[in-house]
Amino acid sequence: STLQLSNPDLLKQSCLIKDGWHAASDEATLEVNNPFNGELIGTVPSLTTKDVNDAVAYSHEVQTAWAAKTAQERADLLQKWADLIDANKEDLAIIMTAEQGKPLTESRGEVGYANSFIRWFAEEGKRVYGDVIPANKSQLRHVILKQPVGVCAAITPWNFPAAMITRKAAPALAAGCTMIIKPATETPFSALALGVLAEQAGIPAGVIQVVTGKASTIGDILTGDARIHKLSFTGSTEVGRTLMAQCAPTIKKLSLELGGNAPFIVFDDADLEAAADGLIASKYRNAGQTCVCANRIYVQDSIKDQFLDVFVKKVAELNVGNGMDDGVDIGPLINQKALEKVQALLKDALDKGATLIAGGSTNNASELTYNPTVITDISHDMDIASEEIFGPIATIFTFKDEAEVIRQANDTIYGLAAYFYSGDYARSWRVTEGLEYGIIGHNTGLISTEVAPFGGVKQSGFGREGSKYGIEEYVVTKYWCSDIS
């Protein structure tokens, strides 16, 4: 590989399964390319059905011993893992930018963010308290135990190649579960590098395994095997539906973090400068490829021109290019399919009467880089109004009053994140209560942190990640009824 890493061993081209690092038993591999320049970064195993079944068996075997450790013992191992991630932060960021495309500053930020979940849940694992319930008969005792759910699986997307893994793996491990991780086909190297460091930290073989290969082959096993008790998935609503159906026969416990269609509302009583900054952060981070990116921007009639002025000036300052270069704000889209989707959504909007204010084309830095784009005069019959854009296009709607905008904001199958800017206290309560979303950003465009619960409602899924709620997804409640007469 051409990557300049201080620790080249972090770029692993084999899978962490069973007792260590293995190729596919039939030696099959998949290529991983840099989305900015198409260069081959390396190959990863395309595991066979038997390889993945063996991994499940291994997880199942070591589950009991892992669960039998004290929470402090597990915390010590997790903290060692986090220390190693910190020590290798720059290499992890380079690997991430190479396979994902996001600017290095964002990759460094993500590695820190990913690690915050490991440190948080290392601590939180010590606070998985049970309960004693006052008895309803004098000879009875009612005791509630919280126990690990068992072997878990995670299927994760390419937009946050490290953080989407740690916010599942850390609570699972802290709670006493083992976990098999299937990273996105586009970004396996970040996951494998985390595996290298987990092994180095002394996390026992089989407690974390990383499997790569054909998504549907691996997905069939991780959803179908009865020895796996829980699946946590982050990705599209479409794939989430399929996986949920596949989990039905074995009644798996599920967490689904699916697509979003985030409204971003700017009221006439907002600080417009702050709202424009928040919108830049929420819209263009990761080239618009996050499930909490502003997807529909609603600006109150009376301040539309004023707001657009401020916003468009900030958009003009964004630099598009190679994420490895200093000063780049927007890297490439992940692949050709993503680019085509962005182009098709823009064309449909312009054909139906939208007005192009900025951008609207690919950037000549490379085939997959796209200029930050702003369009206005959006109507709800345009595809861009209902579909998750996953690209750097800001779509500006206007609205007259609060009740109307809440109704429009809720008019979607999704319910992940919503944002609004307002300086009015009573309105802020009304809007927060009225928006059917799992996460509300008020006067901020950045809402993700390990201390707070992340997750959606409606067809954005269920389950929460991060915070004290995040570990509940990996424990089950056991009720002990004891007659001591």
Q: Which residues bind ligand ADP (CB under 6 A)?
A: 155-158, 182, 184-185, 215-216, 219, 235-236, 239, 242-243
Of the candidates 276, 252, 258, 254, the residue with the CA atom closest to the CA atom of residue 266: 276
Q: How many CA atoms lie within 13 A of 45 on its CB side?
A: 23
Amino acid in the structure at residue 180: I
Q: Which is nearer to ligand ADP, 124 or 257 (CB)?
A: 257
* Active-site annotation holds for 152: no
* Active-site annotation holds for 15: no
10: exposed, middle or buried (Cβ count in 10 Å: 0-12, 13-18, 19+): buried
Q: Which is nearer to ligand ADP, 74 or 182 (CB)?
A: 182
Rounded Cα–Cα distance for residues 110 and 96 (Å) = 9
Q: Which is nearer to ligand ADP, 235 or 470 (CB)?
A: 235
Amino acid in the structure at residue 453: P
Amino acid in the structure at residue 351: D
Amino acid in the structure at residue 20: G
Tokens linked to 473:
């997804």
| Whole-number Cα distances in Å, 311 to 112, 230, 280, 298, 314 | 29, 44, 8, 13, 5
Q: Which is nearer to ligand ADP, 260 or 321 (CB)?
A: 260
Q: Which is nearer to ligand ADP, 157 or 331 (CB)?
A: 157
Q: Any idea what DSSP says for residue 205?
A: B
Which residue in the list 106, 124, 186, 257 is annotated as catalytic? 257
CB 211 → ligand ADP: shortest distance, Å?
Answer: 11
Which residues have a Cβ under 8 Å from the Cβ of 425 and sit 6 or more positions away? none
CB 150 → ligand ADP: shortest distance, Å?
Answer: 20
CB 465 → ligand ADP: shortest distance, Å?
Answer: 15
Which residue in the list 15, 152, 247, 291 is annotated as catalytic? 291
CB 38 → ligand ADP: shortest distance, Å?
Answer: 19
CB 183 → ligand ADP: shortest distance, Å?
Answer: 6
Point out the residue whose Cβ comes nearest to ligand ADP. Answer: 219
Q: Which is nearer to ligand ADP, 243 or 333 (CB)?
A: 243
Q: State how far Cα 406 lies from the chain centre.
A: 26
Q: Which is nearer to ligand ADP, 154 or 265 (CB)?
A: 154
Rounded Cα–Cα distance for residues 112 and 109 (Å) = 5
Taking the CA atoms of 174, 177, 178 and 183 in sequence, report the sign of the dihedral they define.
negative
CB 266 → ligand ADP: shortest distance, Å?
Answer: 28
28: exposed, middle or buried (Cβ count in 10 Å: 0-12, 13-18, 19+): middle
CB 308 → ligand ADP: shortest distance, Å?
Answer: 30
Pairing of strands 151-155, 461-462: unpaired
Provide the strand spans (E) within 247-354.
253-257, 262-266, 294-300
Q: Are 263 and 296 in contact (CB under 8 A)?
A: yes
Catalytic sites, residue numbers: 257, 291
